[in-house]
Amino acid sequence: MARVVMLIHGEAGNYGASFPDFPGATTGADDLDTLYVKAAEMLAFHVGSLAEDGEPIPGIRSLDALRRDRVFREDSADAIVALIDVDLPGRAVRVNISVEENLLKRIDRAAASAGETRSGFLASAAKARLVGAGT
């Protein structure tokens, strides 16, 4: 879990969020509670997409470090500065699991037809199941 600085611009009924360390990652909502939820989901998706595409994930600066940045000071002059907790992808680790043989064959066929590796297919399936479970 990482704590990321978020800038909130706008007014009641029309809020927008951006992230100084993740240019292009923006979202909007009618109220602040919804904005926080959407922002966390969007940023996690944005960073996950960077990782899947093999793009580097920007370093996350502390609020103190950002306050020393002239551009941040200008961008945040009329904004609410907030911190948001986001799960960022870590490094890949090798695991050893046991799977029923016929299930493994089905997984391999499905992964191949989707143009994915077995590992990528299983990771995507696990992520989808975790999102569905609300974790």
Same structural domain, 27 and 13: yes
Residue 135 has pLDDT above 80, yes or no: no
**Does 26 share its domain with 42?**
yes
Q: 44 φ, ψ to 5°?
A: -60, -40
Is pTM, for the whole model, over 0.75? no
Encode pLDDT of 90-127 as tens digits: 667 788 999 999 999 999 999 999 998 998 899 889 88
Query: Which CA distances in Å does 107 have to 89, 111, 123, 127?
Result: 23, 6, 12, 15
In terms of domains, do 52 and 70 share one?
yes
pLDDT band at 133 (very low <50, low <70, confident <90, very high): confident
Asked whether residue 58 falls in the same domain as residue 7, the answer is: yes
Residue 122 structural domain: 92-135
- Summarised one tens digit per residue, pLDDT across range 77-87 is 999 999 998 87
Domain count, the chain: 2
pLDDT band at 134 (very low <50, low <70, confident <90, very high): low
Q: Which residues, 6 or more positions from 50, have their beta carbon under 8 angstroms from its beta carbon?
A: 56, 57
Tell me: do 64 and 12 sit in the same domain. yes
